[in-house]
Amino acid sequence: MAKVASYDLLKKEILKRSYHPIYLLQGEESFFIDDLTNLLDKSVLSEAERDFNHTTFYGVDSDVRTIISACKRYPMMSDHQVIIVKEAQKLANIELLELYAKKPLKSTILIINYKHGTIDGRRSIVKTIDKVGVIFESKRIYENKIPAFITTYFHERDIQIDVKATQMLVDYLGNDMGKLVKELGKLEVVLSGKDQKITPEVVEENVGISKDYNNFELIKAIANKDKVRAYRIVSYFEKNQKDNPFILTLSSLIYYFNNLVECFWLTQRSEQAVMNTLNFRNTYMTQDYMAGLRNYNVNEVMKIITNLRTFDAKSKGIDNPPYTTHGELLKELVYKIMH
């Protein structure tokens, strides 16, 4: 049986109650591993069936033979039993699970929750599981893919979201999927039963991000060389450093200027070309790049990227005068970018 590598496809299978005897859910991004584990956990058994047919093991204090013994039991008053192995990366001699994987029971659904890495695909346990079940690798999502994830998340729940509101969430939360989905869930609850879409005002009110003073607006000001606006935002950040950490602002600036460099090599610097190059879904997201192309040249941008690396080091205490705050670093950085 071929592995199901797609998160969306695997999720659809589970919702249709089409199950496999073994799931190896592994990779660097914990959110998708936990989400699929929880979905299986909730969908296979009813509440009445769980008492006798549901077992959870933890890798750090379990042994393989006990897990195999549990997997070989038959369910009681149910078509299935569910065995979950959490923190499987800490399970000693995990390769011995192959003994069970060679001849799994159809009535047992074994879920191996393996985080912060993968089992070497050349090992026989992986090849054996691949023949009878599913191997899913949960990869970290790059930040440029997060807007699409947010849009899809709300689309599946019949909720619209404004492009600027999406970018505010991306700039504020980055690709920390656990934190991101938690905040998306808050917004979903707020709009429950309402025929509305998520706007910057809704994000500001419920997530705590200012619609006027955020990384999205700072980059827009810098791209347009609006010094007054940029310095006003930086001053706000300095007064509210807890809600506007320097590291997130720096990350947003690095992302923007690295992308802007790519745009300079385009033979045609149209909005459509920029959108295609950066894999954006609409031209609204390209506006800051069009402004950057107008207001900066490639040499200036290369110098800015060098400064960004320098200030990244300074934020970690390298060649940074003592008692210099992150707010002061940001002021100096923005000044260098715009002069």
Place of tokens 């979201």: 161
Alpha carbon distance 320, 307 (integer Å): 13
Question: What three-state secondary structure class fits 132?
Answer: helix
| φ, ψ at 3 (rounded to 5°) | -70, 150
Among 18, 8, 26, 264, CA closest to 138: 26
Token pair for 29 = 């991004």
pLDDT reported for residue 1? 42
Alpha carbon distance 168, 170 (integer Å): 5
Calculate helix-pair angle for 227-239, 215-223, nearest 10 degrees: 150
Place of tokens 């707020």: 190
Among 41, 177, 53, 23, CA closest to 114: 23
3-state SS, one letter per residue, for 220-267: HHHHCCCHHHHHHHHHHHHHCCCCCCHHHHHHHHHHHHHHHHHHHCCC
Residue type, 52: F
Alpha carbon distance 63, 57 (integer Å): 9
Q: What is the mean pLDDT of each run of 10 residues along the chain (339 residues)?
A: 67 91 93 93 92 94 94 94 95 93 95 93 91 91 83 86 87 82 86 76 84 90 94 91 87 93 91 88 85 95 94 84 81 92
pLDDT in tens, 211-226: 888 898 999 999 999 9
Alpha carbon distance 256, 279 (integer Å): 13
Among 158, 193, 190, 317, CA closest to 246: 317
Question: What three-state secondary structure class fits 200?
Answer: helix
Contact indicator for 274, 286 with CB cutoff of 8 Å? yes
pLDDT in tens, 239-267: 888 888 898 899 889 999 999 999 999 98
DSSP calls for 21-52:
SEEEEEES-HHHHHHHHHHHHHHSS-HHHHHH
**Cα torsion through 122, 124, 126, 129, rounded to 10:** 150
Q: Which 8-state DSSP code applies to residue 197?
A: E
Does the pTM of the predicted model rise above 0.85?
no
Token pair for 11 = 């999720």
pLDDT reported for residue 148? 86
Q: Which 8-state DSSP code applies to residue 140?
A: P
